[in-house]
Amino acid sequence: MAVDTVAPAAVDLGPATALSCRECGHRVPLGPVFACEECFGPLEVAYDLPGDPAALRARIEAGPANIWRYAPLLPVPADVADKPNTNPGFTRLIQADHLAAELGVDAGNLYVKDDSGNPTHSFKDRVVAIAVEAARAFGFTTLSCSSTGNLAGAVGAAAARAGLRSCVFIPYDLEQGKVLMAAVYGGEVVGIEGTYDDVNRFCSELIGDEIGEGWGFTNVNLRPYYAEGSKTLAYEICEQLGWRLPDNLVIPVASGSQLTKIDKGLKELIALGLVEDRPYKIFGAQAEGCSPVSRAYKDGHDVVRPVRPDTIAKSLAIGNPADGPYVLDIARRTGGAVEDVNDEQVVDAIKLLARTEGVFAETAGGVTFGVLKKLVADGRISPSETTVALNTGDGLKTLDAVAPTTGVSATIKPSLDAFRAAGLA
Amino acid sequence: MAVDTVAPAAVDLGPATALSCRECGHRVPLGPVFACEECFGPLEVAYDLPGDPAALRARIEAGPANIWRYAPLLPVPADVADKPNTNPGFTRLIQADHLAAELGVDAGNLYVKDDSGNPTHSFKDRVVAIAVEAARAFGFTTLSCSSTGNLAGAVGAAAARAGLRSCVFIPYDLEQGKVLMAAVYGGEVVGIEGTYDDVNRFCSELIGDEIGEGWGFTNVNLRPYYAEGSKTLAYEICEQLGWRLPDNLVIPVASGSQLTKIDKGLKELIALGLVEDRPYKIFGAQAEGCSPVSRAYKDGHDVVRPVRPDTIAKSLAIGNPADGPYVLDIARRTGGAVEDVNDEQVVDAIKLLARTEGVFAETAGGVTFGVLKKLVADGRISPSETTVALNTGDGLKTLDAVAPTTGVSATIKPSLDAFRAAGLA
């Protein structure tokens, strides 16, 4: 964990200048560390950002149709777009007028940010792409992570593309489909006899051992870099709205990292002069069966009490979310909220989004749009304000959620009479 | 089928001026017809295309990051990007140096066009998006198709987004996953007791019946428009190569429509002066278990003899391909070929592409990259030429293909000793 094992002179991560503790502000050189040596607070990337907003905007707009258009705002070298990586991002922002009509939002005011279009069909491709650059900068040769699905696939794909070895760790009883998605890229996939928490603990042990030398764990020792990838969601949403802040954002909460980094991205855009400085509200979305942050929000607590997850939204099933306190702070500071929905509402919301806008979300998306529905219904989101809700994953990965209530309208013989009799004509 | 039931004055499909018979050149006004009334040949869209290449290129490059950047070259109204649709296209073109090294192609010469990034994760979103505009222009209120999977999902999503009713027809014994993908968008999904051919015949009956009034079948009465969507693959590939033709293209062949329309798109770019006029070779790829066009090519025939499909590449399993003769003609005229690979080679190619470039292809992609490998190995594709191969779909939809040979490297207890013992450290 000692910072002096890294030679700072060799590290080129573009505008990133140091790591800074979110709690006490202590600074250390860029390196594969994630906890402050003074206070054990989380380390974040600090930047030397560009000063001329017009030049920056022109540079971004002339950039590639992926996250590298924002390279001047990310911990990546200037030539990042020329290296082999998965080029995620610049996914669709959909003006969702049919959904708006069903929920009671004014036409033109509701948007879906659809991250299922990323290379492995979740937002994880964004964060992993940044982690790959950090891994290269620190000379790591193996990319690793603990995962219950989306992250393992994103790491496998990104490592294959980058020419790195990969070795990911999953609970041994993961569904076969998710194992296949992780293993098809040819890296090592190791099943751990235990829960996801056991997998996490094992990864921390590995980093401390000589086996782990040369290993970059996207969500552990590369976490400060990795997490910055979520800022690109904030950048894209504002650019796609015509360099404008939305009034409201609805974001799913697992560890809470994505929500806090989207807030960081919005604040950067304001500071850089790329968007007008005016208020926005951030809302967090959790599944009732794993809602530690929502409960703390409702109870008025600053501390998040861990829970044992029990929900179909497995990609959000983190019972002890590392960034939970920051989510609470952001929701309260911006005038947002943290809310939850039950599994039945999750499935209903998946089908609502598919039926109205043709977007098939995974269960995490069902959580987000279920919460959106609740917030509009009880007036916490105003119909006359601009709202963006995130779909962070793909329904193809969680087919079981919709299977019991989705199927053919009828099965008939191939004749017009049979079709008429089925009542669908 | 009579053309005079359509009022041409009401039809605004941008630069499209008429339908023209591919065989005899007979012209009819734009309408929901697909076969020439003179000779029963297939009808194609004819255009009044822009004349100034510099202005056109500038307009395209300033357009949105989806197929609508090419609206001046497609049968769609000028304001198409403002309407609710799925906005497919402008998918990644990946410089595949790791795959090139494995196959023996010179670095920098091999590219993967990855259409799994489309909204429903196959190239079908491109063609359906064009069919939706035709359906709107002709006043259709129901969008329909016969399908074995990818198309049904693309139609369901696009209809939901466009606010059209949808009713798609599938064989009754389709895998549950594909049924879910089609049904989740809330349209009608009708299982037909019979084979895919029975489904097709039933759809033709429906169009002739009063039930079918107001129904647009993407791949039947809207086929001339629908098929044009594949031209956008040609446009994107050339633009992403820096407005340059590749030397070789490897394209999967089901009905053959995609391959013929990519050729049409390339010829348009040459005629418009957007790319240099020089030779290119087009190669078609089929699965051995459904290789009627490949067999005809190898036998030197102009006629394609129908076969009964038996392959894991189900999205290519069309035994009687409508555009087979045109594929033969294009392969021979350009100096390409049509080749096939067996199911084992399909699976190997899926895993090769995943391992080298982090792209997880469906079985159709396995066919294409298996054929690419064969063509490079036997010298028909030169290592010193630029080659683009298409991945048209997503491995998540055909997990069964890789399941028997893909899985965890090891399952261990969460201890460093157990990890060492597994030999993965």
Q: What is the CATH number of the domain that holds A146?
A: 3.40.50.1100
Q: Do A354 and B185 touch (CB under 8 A)?
A: yes
Q: Does residue A28 lie in a domain region?
A: no
Q: Do B406 and A184 touch (CB under 8 A)?
A: yes
Residues B289 and B394 in one domain: yes
Cβ-contact A109, A96 below 8 angstroms: no
Residues B179 and B261 in one domain: no
Q: Does residue B425 lie in a domain region?
A: no
Q: Do A117 and B118 touch (CB under 8 A)?
A: yes
A74/A58 Cα distance (integer angstroms): 17
> Where residue A2 falls among pLDDT bands split at 50, 70, 90?
very low
> Where residue A148 falls among pLDDT bands split at 50, 70, 90?
confident
Q: Would you say residue A243 has pLDDT above 90?
A: yes
The Cα of B109 is separated from the nearest Cα of chain A by a number of Å equal to 14
Chain B residues whose CB is inside 8 A of the A118 CB are 117
Given a cut of 50, the residues of chain B with pLDDT beneath it are 1-8
Residues A219 and A234 in one domain: no
In tens, the pLDDT along B9-67 reads: 579 999 999 999 999 999 999 999 999 999 999 999 999 998 899 999 999 999 999 99
Q: Do A211 and B420 touch (CB under 8 A)?
A: yes
Q: Does residue A258 lie in a domain region?
A: yes
Bridge partners (DSSP) listed for residue A339: A285
What is the average per-residue pLDDT within A115-126? 97
Q: Do A407 and B179 touch (CB under 8 A)?
A: yes
- A357 interfaces chain B, CB cutoff of 8 Å: yes
Q: Does residue A60 lie in a domain region?
A: no
Sign of CA pseudo-dihedral A295, A297, A299, A305:
positive
Cβ-contact A113, A174 below 8 angstroms: no
Put simply, the chain B residues between 102 and 161 with a CB less than 8 A from any chain A CB are 114, 116-121, 156-161
Residues B182 and B253 in one domain: no
Q: Are strands A142-146 and A215-217 parallel, antiparallel or unpaired?
A: parallel
Give the CB-side neighbour count of residue B257, counting CA atoms within 13 A: 23
Residue A195 has a pLDDT of 82
A22-A23-A26 Cα angle (round to 5) = 75
Question: In B177-221, at which residue ranges do the beta strands (DSSP E only) sit?
Answer: 188-192, 215-217
Residues B266 and B297 in one domain: yes
Cβ-contact A183, A189 below 8 angstroms: yes
Residues A247 and A175 in one domain: no
- B186 interfaces chain A, CB cutoff of 8 Å: yes
A212/A209 Cα distance (integer angstroms): 6
In tens, the pLDDT along B279-294 reads: 999 999 999 999 999 9
Cβ contacts of A338 within 8 Å, gap of 6 or more = A253, A283, A284, A285, A286, A293, A294, A296, A297, A298, A327, A328, A331
> B244-259 burial by CB neighbour count: b if 16+ within 10 A, else e?
ebbbbbbbbbbbbbbb
Q: Are strands B43-47 and B16-21 parallel, antiparallel or unpaired?
A: antiparallel
Residues A192 and A218 in one domain: yes
Residue A9 has a pLDDT of 53
Residues B210 and B334 in one domain: no
A284/A295 Cα distance (integer angstroms): 12
A330/A324 Cα distance (integer angstroms): 10
Residue A397 has a pLDDT of 92
Q: Helices A231-240 and A257-272, interaxial angle, to 10°? A: 50
Structure tokens at A1: 């964990």
Q: Helices B343-357 and B363-377, interaxial angle, to 10°? A: 90
A91/A392 Cα distance (integer angstroms): 11
Who wins on pLDDT, A120 or A423?
Answer: A120
- A206 interfaces chain B, CB cutoff of 8 Å: yes
Q: Does residue A69 lie in a domain region?
A: no
Chain A residues whose CB is inside 8 A of the B97 CB are 84
B364/B349 Cα distance (integer angstroms): 10
Q: Helices B150-162 and B124-137, interaxial angle, to 10°? A: 40
Q: Does residue A9 lie in a domain region?
A: no
Q: Do A84 and B98 touch (CB under 8 A)?
A: yes
Q: Are strands B188-192 and B248-252 parallel, antiparallel or unpaired?
A: unpaired
Which 3-state string (H, E, C) describes B293-362? HHHHHHHCCCCCCCCCCCCCCHHHCCCCCCCHHHHHHHHHHHCCEEEEECHHHHHHHHHHHHHHHCCCCC
The shares of helix, strand and coil residues in chain A, as percent rounded to the nearest 5, are: 45, 15, 40
In tens, the pLDDT along A17-59 reads: 999 999 999 999 999 999 999 999 999 999 999 889 999 999 9
The Cα of B332 is separated from the nearest Cα of chain A by a number of Å equal to 35
Rg over CA atoms, chain A:
22
Q: Is the ipTM of this complex over 0.90?
A: yes
Residue A177 has a pLDDT of 85
Q: What are phi and psi of B43, to 5 degrees?
A: -85, 140
Determine the residue among A66, A408, A409 to mutate to test chain B binding: the one whose Cβ has the most chain B Cβ atoms within 10 Å.
Answer: A408
In chain B, the number of structural domains is 3
A142/A218 Cα distance (integer angstroms): 10
Residues A185 and A237 in one domain: no
CB pairs under 8 A between A and B: 239
Choose one of A173, A196, A227: the last residue of a domain. Answer: A227
Pick from A92, A184, A351: which is nearest to B395 by CB? A184
Pick from B92, B403, B424: which is nearest to A188 by CB? B424
Residues B141 and B281 in one domain: no
DSSP, collapsed to helix, strand or coil, labels residue B131 as helix
Q: Does residue A424 lie in a domain region?
A: no
Who wins on pLDDT, B7 or A65?
Answer: A65
- B95 interfaces chain A, CB cutoff of 8 Å: yes
Residue B175 has a pLDDT of 81
Q: What's the gap between Cα B339 and its chain centre?
A: 18
- The range of the structural domain enclosing residue B103 comes to 92-121+230-405
The Cα of B120 is separated from the nearest Cα of chain A by a number of Å equal to 8
% chain A with pLDDT above 70: 98
A221/A59 Cα distance (integer angstroms): 31
DSSP class of residue B67 equals: G
Q: What are phi and psi of B146, to 5 degrees?
A: -105, 145
Determine the length of chain A.
Answer: 425
The Cα of A425 is separated from the nearest Cα of chain B by a number of Å equal to 6
Residues B224 and B133 in one domain: yes
Residues A207 and A340 in one domain: no
Q: Would you say residue A219 has pLDDT above 50?
A: yes
Q: Does residue B411 lie in a domain region?
A: no
Q: Do B416 and A357 touch (CB under 8 A)?
A: no
In tens, the pLDDT along A277-303 reads: 999 999 999 999 999 999 999 999 999
Pick from B116, B179, B356: which is nearest to A160 by CB? B356
Q: Would you say residue A102 has pLDDT above 70?
A: yes
Q: Do A185 and B355 touch (CB under 8 A)?
A: yes
Chain A residues whose CB is inside 8 A of the B359 CB are 119, 157
Chain A residues whose CB is inside 8 A of the B395 CB are 181, 184
